[in-house]
Every structure is written in C-alpha cells, then in structure tokens.
C-alpha cells in the first residue's frame, strides 16, 4: 500500500512539470511545458511579490529567484522546511517566482549591464546549459561556493561540469536531467520482444526492431520534436562526443555528427521514429495521444508519459542504444542554484545550500520528489527508501534510484553557449535530408549557419 501511495503522490505532483529542466529555448520551453502565466505569481507562504527583488538583510532570511510552481518551487520549499526544522527554526526562504527561466537570465543581464547587483536576490536558480556563458560574461555577478561544506564527489561528474568553471564551484545541483528510454512492454511483447531485447543494442538493431514493432502494432518506437530535435545531442553524448571541439568550435560536419544524423534519418524512413512538427505535437499527439511504444528524453518527460492513466503498469525504463552496442547514458536539461554578488549573508547561503541540496539531504530530496517531482543528482539522497520504492506506473520498477544511478555514468562532453543554436541547425539539416538533400551538404550548411551565429 505504501508503494502505491508514493506512486500516486509522485504522479500527481509531476503532471505539470515536464520541462522545468527540459528542452527548448529558455523562454519557449518553460512556457510550453508548464503553461506558466506571463506575470509572476507568489509561491505559497514563503513567496514574496515580484517587487521584492533584493537580497535579504535579515540574518535568518534568504531570497531566491526560481520558476515553475509545480516543480522547482516545491523543491525549494522542501529545502526551506528541512533547514528550518534541523538547523535554524527562525529561517525563512523568500521564494520569488519567475514566470520562466529566461526571467532570471534577464535579471542577471540587466544588473550586470547597469553595474548594479543590488536588484538581485541572494540566490538564483539557473539553467545548466546557459551558466558558463553568464559566468564568462558577468564574472562579478557570482559568489564562489568552493568553500561550502559540500561533498562534491556525491554528484555525477557530468552534472558538476556545468557549474564548475575553471575549477571553481559556482552552483549546487538541484534536478537531474538524466535520459531514460521508456518502453511499452505490452507492445514490445505483442511484436515478439522484451525490454532486454532493446537494452545494450546498436542503433542499427534498434531500427530493425522499431520497424518491426510499427508493422505489427502501428506504433512508433520513438518520437521527438523535429523542430527542437534533442536526439543528436543525446545520442552524441552517449558516445562521449559533442557537437563542439575542445576549443568550442562546431564540428557538425564531422563523422560523429554525421553518424547519428544518418541513424535518425534511417529510423524515420523505417517508421521506427516519428519526428513531430513541434513541441505540442510531440507531447500531446505522439506521447499523450498514444502514437508511440517508446519515449526517450530527460527524465522530466515522465509526467507526460503518466498522463495516459490506462497505460499504468505497461511501461518500463532502460538505457539508450549506442552506435556500436552497449548501454548508453546521456543527460538533457537541468538546473542548479547560484549565490549572487548581492548576497548580504554568504555564510548563511552556503550553509543552507550545503545542508539541503548540497548534503544530499534525504528530507529535502524525498519531499522534492514526492511534492514536485524533482529527482536528485545526489547518490546519497538517491539511496533513500522513497527513491527505492517501486513506481506502479512503471511496472513497479524503482525508477528514481535507477535514474540516479544512470546519472553517475553520463559522459562529460564539451558544452557551448551555442548549444540551442546548434540544435536548431542540426534539426533543420535533418529535415532537409529527409526532403531529399545530401547529408554532407546539409550538415555543411548547418555548420556555416552556426559559425555565422557565433560571429566566426
């Protein structure tokens, strides 16, 4: 009974959170994912109004910018309750809700451009894929967290690679973007396969199985937003590769990118993969609309899968295929907490972060999971009883502890400030190739367009 109760709590809490750390541009993805109102709202008893956008001078209070009242904010409220109960009974976390993640980026840009950080809160939640650009452009906006009492080894190397810049720790991880490949086991069985048959295989074998599943069930083995196509990045990372070299220059014409693009094109042509027209088509039509027998993305996609109640118990998760075979691991999306230059009480901020998200506190992360659907990056927190309970929707697999374990295997690859621009250009190249264009010339054009955007 306890297992079932936890599963129901998680499903309910996560329904509206699908891309709090998900795909798409910082502005469009959050809006599309959560349906956030344009105006900022308050978040429960601990929230303040939008005008209270300055750091706190109270020795027991901290302020923080965050977005998504169904995902990130319940996680922050869980941390506040944890710290208040176990460290400081007078503690208060002033959560100032932003309508979307780009609002935080705008606040940093505006403050830094004016040379006045007094408009910033003590702490901000910030997207992983953007932070290196903002630390590089506005180095004076951030506090060094290296001295905080945090066991950094408790987090996966890939997750820390975003917030650790020039060996300095600037952020504390919050949510886990590790990729899952979820399959409808009933449909696999109908086509003569099991979850084992799609685990640790090559992409070529996966296409063969996917084509067969489509012929026998009418379901695609995978779908993806064809406009904001995350497949190339995830597939490359599972190979330990990037769309950029060590100097930050794009390598879209290289053999690695060509190999994964070729797989995507062949998968689409074989009816193993469906490339949706846009994000809504991807989530609403292909996943919720029950067109697929498989879903692969950052684990934040789970609540979208769970919206189809009648499919409860029919799904299981596993790892990604790879080009040469073997289990593949990747991450897509995620965010961390950063202390701003305007923080008046850095010691309190460091201690709060260290004893909640940074300590792998089971109290913080258990509540963040059950109330908001945030999955930890901490191996310690991921070993709790709550994390190890089976989830009814996924055939009682302990998917949350499994996801944390997957995260420890994700390769660290070269990141770029132009991550999303590269994604858009490769997605366009794939569409051109499917329309009959040559793969080499299409990727060359994508490379040229990306270089132009980069000013090179």
Identical fold for domains 2-176+333-395 and 179-330+418-453, yes or no, is yes
Pick the CATH number of 179-330+418-453 from 3.20.20.60, 3.40.630.40, 3.40.50.1000, 3.40.190.10: 3.40.190.10
Q: Give the position of tokens 């086991």.
A: 185
Indicate if the pLDDT at residue 199 is higher than 50. Answer: yes
Distance CA 222, CA 274 (A): 6
pLDDT tens string 123-153? 999 999 889 889 999 999 999 999 999 999 9
pLDDT tens string 337-368? 999 999 999 999 999 999 999 987 899 999 99
Please report the pLDDT score of residue 236 as a whole number. 98
Indicate if the pLDDT at residue 375 is higher than 80. Answer: yes
Please report the pLDDT score of residue 57 as a whole number. 79
Average pLDDT over residues 430-455: 97
Indicate if the pLDDT at residue 48 is higher than 70. Answer: no
Please report the pLDDT score of residue 38 as a whole number. 29
Q: How far is CA 149 from CA 43, 165, 234, 346, 429, in A?
A: 29, 18, 33, 13, 46
Mean pLDDT taken over the chain: 89
Burial class from Cβ neighbours inside 10 Å (0-12, 13-18, 19+) for residue 12 reads: middle
Please report the pLDDT score of residue 343 as a whole number. 96
Distance CA 113, CA 111 (A): 6
DSSP H stretches of helix in 164-254? 185-190, 203-217, 231-238
pLDDT band at 58 (very low <50, low <70, confident <90, very high): confident
| Domain ranges within the chain, ordered by starting residue | 2-176+333-395, 179-330+418-453
Please report the pLDDT score of residue 130 as a whole number. 86
Distance CA 404, CA 380 (A): 10
Indicate if the pLDDT at residue 22 is higher than 90. Answer: no
Q: Kind and range of the H or E element at 424?
A: helix 419-434
Q: Cα torsion at 302, 303, 304, 307 (round to 10°)?
A: 130
pLDDT tens string 231-251? 999 999 999 999 999 999 999
pLDDT tens string 283-318? 999 999 999 999 999 999 998 999 999 999 999 999
Higher pLDDT among residues 40 and 53, named by residue: 53
Distance CA 76, CA 400 (A): 19
The helix/strand/coil state of 285 is helix
Indicate if the pLDDT at residue 111 is higher than 50. Answer: yes
pLDDT band at 16 (very low <50, low <70, confident <90, very high): very low
pLDDT band at 63 (very low <50, low <70, confident <90, very high): very high
Please report the pLDDT score of residue 129 as a whole number. 86
Average pLDDT over residues 425-446: 98
Q: How far is CA 111 from CA 10, 114, 279, in A?
A: 38, 5, 32
Average pLDDT over residues 21-29: 37
pLDDT band at 7 (very low <50, low <70, confident <90, very high): very low
Please report the pLDDT score of residue 21 as a whole number. 47
Superfamily of domain covering 2-176+333-395: Periplasmic binding protein-like II (3.40.190.10)
pLDDT tens string 381-431? 999 999 999 999 999 999 999 999 999 999 999 988 899 899 999 999 999
Please report the pLDDT score of residue 51 as a whole number. 40
């Amino acid at each position: 009974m306890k297992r079932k109760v936890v599963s129901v709590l998680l499903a309910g809490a996560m329904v509206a959170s699908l891309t709090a750390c998900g795909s798409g541009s910082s502005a469009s993805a959050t809006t599309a994912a959560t349906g956030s109102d344009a105006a900022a709202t308050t978040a429960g008893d601990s929230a303040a109004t939008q005008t209270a956008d300055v750091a706190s001078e109270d020795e027991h209070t901290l302020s923080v910018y965050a977005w998504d009242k169904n995902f990130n904010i319940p996680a922050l409220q869980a941390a506040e309750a944890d710290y208040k109960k176990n460290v400081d009974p007078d503690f208060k976390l002033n959560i100032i809700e932003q309508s979307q993640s780009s609002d935080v980026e705008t606040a940093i840009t505006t403050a830094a451009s004016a040379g006045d950080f007094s408009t910033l809160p003590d702490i901000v939640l910030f997207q992983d894929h953007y932070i290196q650009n903002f630390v590089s452009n506005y180095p004076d906006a951030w506090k060094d967290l290296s001295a905080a009492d945090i066991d950094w080894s408790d987090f996966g190397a890939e997750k820390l690679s975003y917030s650790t810049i020039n060996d300095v720790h600037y952020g504390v991880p919050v949510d886990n973007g590790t990729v899952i490949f979820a399959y409808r086991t009933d449909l696999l069985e109908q086509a003569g396969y099991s979850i084992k048959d799609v685990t640790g295989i090559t992409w070529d074998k996966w296409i063969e199985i996917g084509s067969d599943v489509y012929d026998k069930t009418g379901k695609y083995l995978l779908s993806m937003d064809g406009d904001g196509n995350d497949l190339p990045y995830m597939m490359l990372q599972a190979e330990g590769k990037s769309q950029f070299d060590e100097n930050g220059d794009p390598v879209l014409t290289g053999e690695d990118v060509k190999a994964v693009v070729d797989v995507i094109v062949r998968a689409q042509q074989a009816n193993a993969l469906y490339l949706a027209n846009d994000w809504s088509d991807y989530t609403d039509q292909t996943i919720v609309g029950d067109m697929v027998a498989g879903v692969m993305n950052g684990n934040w996609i789970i609540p979208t899968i769970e919206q189809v109640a009648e499919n409860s118990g029919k799904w299981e998760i596993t790892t990604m295929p790879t080009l040469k075979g073997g289990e593949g691991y990747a991450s897509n999306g995620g965010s961390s907490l950063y202390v701003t230059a305007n923080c008046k009480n850095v010691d309190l901020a460091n201690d709060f972060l260290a004893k909640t998200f940074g300590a792998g506190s089971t109290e913080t992360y258990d509540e963040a999971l059950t109330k908001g659907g945030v999955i930890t990056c901490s191996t310690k927190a991921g070993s709790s009883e709550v994390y190890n309970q089976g989830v009814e929707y996924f055939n009682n697999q302990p998917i949350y502890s499994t996801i944390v374990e997957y995260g420890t295997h994700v390769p660290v690859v070269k990141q770029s400030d132009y991550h999303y621009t590269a994604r858009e250009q490769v997605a366009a190249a794939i569409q051109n190739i499917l329309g009959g264009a040559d793969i080499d010339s299409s990727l060359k054009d994508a490379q040229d367009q990306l270089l132009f955007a980069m000013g090179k």
